[in-house]
Amino acid sequence: MNNYLRIAIPTPLRRYFDYLVPANFQAKHPPAGVRIKVPFGRQTLIGILLDVVHETNVPVQKLKHAIEILDEKPVFDTELLQLLRWCSMYYHYPIGEVMQNALPVKLRQGASTHIKGIRRWQLTPEGQQLDLLSLKRAAKQVALMGDLKQSTSGLLDSQLSEHHVGWRPVMKRLQEKGLVESFEENALPIAQTITSAHKLNHDQRHAINRVIEQKDDGFHAYVLEGVTGSGKTEVYLQVIADVLKQGKQALVLVPEIGLTPQLMDRFLQRLDGRIAIMHSGLNDEERLQAWLHTQAGSADVIIGTRSAVFSPLLRPGIIIIDEEHDLSFKQQDGFRYSARDLAVKRARDLNIPIILGSATPSLETLYNALQGRYETLLLPERAGNAKPPTISLLDVRSQKMEHGVSAQLLHKMKEHLENDSQVLLFLNRRGYAPVLMCHECGWHALCPRCDAHMTLHQSNSQLRCHHCGTEQYKPSACPKCKCDDLLQMGFGTERIEHALNELFPQYQVIRIDRDSTRRKGSMEKLLNEINNGKRQILIGTQMLAKGHHFPNVTLVGMLNADHGLYSSDFRASERMGQLILQVAGRAGREEKEGEVLIQTHHADHPLFKPLLKHDYPGFAKALIEERQQTELPPFTHLALLRAEAVDQQSPMVFLEQARLLLEQNKQNDVLLIGPFPALMERRAGRYRAQLLVQANNRKQLQTLFASSIPQIEIDKTAKKVRWSIDIDPMDLM
Ligand code: ADP
Ligand code: ZN
Ligand code: ZN
């Protein structure tokens, strides 16, 4: 019987490839999930073994030998392999690239799966007995031996490097003589002392009990709907502690890289286990090590951002998604998966519980709870002595504004600052001014590659496009009419920062946005300056809204909330509500009471009403009803076919053709909408268009694409465009 290796190879082709076993291969056939090096065209690529099969559609004389099997043990176990195959099918993304995405970069490149520990050196019994005088002609050896003798628990590589230049060859000689030995220890951090838990309030207790009580029943999905500051993290901690006690692992997904250090500290202080972190701020080696520790079971808690949903858990016990409504759980390019949705699917496959936590759950999640698929656990009140902040609107129509800040807000700021409290201002626009315009002739600074304005960044006198990254020097005069009267229109965080520095010279202002936190570690540094009181006024984008705990902030001002009220994106109002409550959640988190002021030109808009009363359920209910009437998700399911090209016609031509093909295959009640040019048609020099597909259930979408994609991808119009499918799109622009 012949054996063929069926392999997922990282190429854009939506299929697998069959190979012969390596020419000199003797052992019994390898298990699925190992990495295999194969010749592919003129390249050598690393793929993942899906299966060993006995028949192939490829004529045998055309089959090539795989070059080398890289692993003995699979990098993906059966469960992950299945999940990834499912992903490829559900998201209609090439299997090889799905696998690639789920693997740390170093493993994609063929690195070994060796776990690096921390090396600790100590004396052997012989070493301890040795009279150092007998080494007297080797001064470096004497020095090393002397230091090791004095240390009680041995010395780490890093400690040795500090005091002994070039110690490694010397240590090697001592090792050869049998005088020293080394041990590898788990390199993941672990708590030295564990601080005790809060005394739980009734709702927290109930939530924790529910999860612990039902943990032996296997899969169960909970929505932990707790207002900001209600102590959701405390619930996670105690549930995880219970999971660790059973010897199992907990996977915790968090939205932003900025969140991980704070959360990590809290977890480290409280949990008796090894914690691995996985996020994009790590270097490739750190990521690899965290991944390997997870797989080997030497990490007990894994905290990570989106892609950590693919963590290779050895002893899965629970999955927790913090801030489940956050958009960053959806990958927005390439393999456009939703880590939140996949986490639920994975928990179901693994038959373990999952908690989706948020103060402002997504409508999809609330709808699942309404349908009885998820159990809701409510934390309606803030933990400890903290009270909810009052939220009010500032009607700024025809009010005098100073740099985008109304007189009323300025007045309030003074009050709070004089009380030794901190003030946080929120504006979802970075840079200095979003538009630079000539006062004389009306010229605007437009991006040469996008249908968009360039944003002025004053700090380095640059114009920058926030869509494609194009940078130019700020012109000193209008390029069209040469007049030098250039108007800076609108406000970004940088401009507000300048203004605040002038308005409040006696206070220190700090700005937190993507520009000010670009360098590694800068976010942590800025957060420290806030929490140790060095800065009193905080201005930032939504980075500041996410999950942070600023004990001394009592006033939060939203400079502009109107964007979400009249947007063409049907999710805009949901996001606006979530943002308002999340931003508001930064105020008054401890003893001092908090206050939130929202500047708006539409103070009588009905959407604001429930939000002012902290009534997110009421707010969400109205939106869910609206979605039902308008037949939008979660009542229907969407997919977006996108195409782009350097010329304007090709994307539309391709999508018209795709539409024809879909028409032929579709069931009656599947709707095709478009194609139409994207709202911002040109981005980074490419024209973009899209076709929206709407169905009553996921199955319809799946069958339609499964039958249509093979036709779409070989259509000749497809050659002229880059195209992609976005299943359950979160961004319709
Ligand atoms: P959330 O994640 O819901 O926004 P946190 O878990 O960050 O809330 O809790 C907010 C604050 O309340 C933290 O300082 C936390 O230590 C504290 N806290 C949590 N639970 C309790 C409790 N039962 N009693 C007193 N303080 C608590
Ligand atoms: Zn001009
Ligand atoms: Zn651009």
201 alpha carbon, closest ligand: 1
pTM over 0.85: yes
Task: Judge whether residue 104 has pLDDT over 90.
Answer: yes
Residue 527's pLDDT band, with cuts at 50, 70 and 90, is confident
Distance 444 CA to ligand 3 centre (A): 14
- Atom 4, ligand 1: residue with shortest CA distance: 229
What is the mean pLDDT of the segment spanning 578-601? Answer: 88
Question: Which residue intervals of the chain bear CATH 3.40.50.300?
Answer: 202-379, 390-433+490-626
379 alpha carbon, closest ligand: 1
Lowest mean pLDDT among 159-173, 183-197, 369-383, 642-656: 183-197
**CA-CA-CA-CA torsion for 663, 669, 672, 673, nearest 10 degrees?**
150
Task: Give the pLDDT score at 261.
Answer: 67
Task: Judge whether residue 545 has pLDDT over 80.
Answer: no
Best residue among 233, 266, 387, 546 to mutate for probing ligand 1's pocket (most ligand atoms within 8 Å of CB) is 233
Q: Could you tell me which of 341, 234, 457 has the C-alpha nearest to residue 698?
A: 341
Per residue in 122-149, pLDDT (tens digit) is: 889 888 888 877 877 788 888 888 888 8
Residue type, 92: H
Task: Judge whether residue 27 has pLDDT over 80.
Answer: no
Distance 646 CA to ligand 2 centre (A): 29
The yes or no reply on domain 4-108 and CATH 3.40.1440.60 is yes
Per residue in 603-624, pLDDT (tens digit) is: 999 999 999 999 999 999 999 9
Task: Give the pLDDT score at 518.
Answer: 82
465 alpha carbon, closest ligand: 3
3-state secondary structure of 182: strand
For residue 386, give the ligand 1 atom closest to its CA.
12
Question: Which residue intervals of the chain bear CATH 3.40.1440.60?
Answer: 4-108
Beta bridge partners, 509, equal 537
Task: Give the pLDDT score at 258.
Answer: 63
Task: Judge whether residue 192 has pLDDT over 90.
Answer: no
Round the average pLDDT of the chain to a whole number and report it: 91
Residue 288's pLDDT band, with cuts at 50, 70 and 90, is very high
Beta bridge partners, 433, equal 456
Task: Give the pLDDT score at 301.
Answer: 95
Cα–Cα distances (Å) from 174 to 129, 142, 180, 422, 538, in that order, read 14, 10, 6, 58, 56
Per residue in 457-484, pLDDT (tens digit) is: 998 899 999 999 999 999 999 999 999 9
Residue 259's pLDDT band, with cuts at 50, 70 and 90, is low
Query: Which is more confidently placed, 386 or 423?
Result: 423
For residue 322, give the ligand 1 atom closest to its CA.
2
- Atom 15, ligand 1: residue with shortest CA distance: 231
Task: Give the pLDDT score at 573.
Answer: 92
Q: Which residues line ligand 1 (CB under 6 A)?
A: 198-201, 204, 226, 228-234, 383-384, 549
Task: Judge whether residue 256 has pLDDT over 80.
Answer: no
For residue 236, give the ligand 1 atom closest to its CA.
6
Distance 228 CA to ligand 1 centre (A): 9
Query: Which is more confidently placed, 271 or 338?
Result: 338
Distance 628 CA to ligand 3 centre (A): 37
Task: Give the pLDDT score at 263.
Answer: 78
Q: Could you tell me which of 174, 167, 169, 166 has the C-alpha nearest to residue 134?
A: 174
Task: Judge whether residue 280 has pLDDT over 80.
Answer: no
Q: Evaluate the omega torsion of the peptide bond into residue 353 and state whether it is cis, within 30 degrees of 0.
A: no
Question: Which residue intervals of the chain bear CATH 3.30.70.360?
Answer: 637-727
Task: Give the pLDDT score at 257.
Answer: 62
Task: Judge whether residue 521 has pLDDT over 90.
Answer: no
- Atom 10, ligand 1: residue with shortest CA distance: 229
Question: H or E stretch including 148?
Answer: helix 139-150
- Atom 25, ligand 1: residue with shortest CA distance: 384
Task: Give the pLDDT score at 103.
Answer: 96
Count of other CB atoms within 10 angstroms of residue 635: 14
3-state secondary structure of 395: strand
200 alpha carbon, closest ligand: 1
Task: Give the pLDDT score at 260.
Answer: 61
* Three-point CA angle 357, 250, 297, nearest 5°: 160
Identify residues whose C-beta is under 5 A from ligand 2, the ion. 438, 440-441, 443, 478, 480-481, 483
Task: Judge whether residue 517 has pLDDT over 90.
Answer: no
* CATH code, 637-727: 3.30.70.360
Task: Judge whether residue 501 has pLDDT over 70.
Answer: yes
Q: What's the CATH architecture for 390-433+490-626?
A: 3-Layer(aba) Sandwich (3.40)
485 alpha carbon, closest ligand: 2
* CATH code, 202-379: 3.40.50.300
Per residue in 357-378, pLDDT (tens digit) is: 999 999 999 999 999 999 999 9
Query: Which is more confidently placed, 262 or 94?
Result: 94
DSSP-H helix ranges across 337-425: 339-350, 363-370, 407-418
Query: Which is more confidently placed, 231 or 189?
Result: 231
* DSSP E strand boundaries for 601-728: 637-645, 671-683, 686-695, 722-727
Distance 299 CA to ligand 1 centre (A): 26
For every residue of 60-106, DSSP letters joined together read GGG--B--EE--SS-SS-HHHHHHHHHHHHHTT--HHHHHHHTS-HH
Residue 28's pLDDT band, with cuts at 50, 70 and 90, is confident
Task: Judge whether residue 189 has pLDDT over 90.
Answer: no
**Diameter over CA atoms, the chain:** 93
For residue 232, give the ligand 1 atom closest to its CA.
3
Lowest mean pLDDT among 339-353, 491-505, 588-602: 588-602
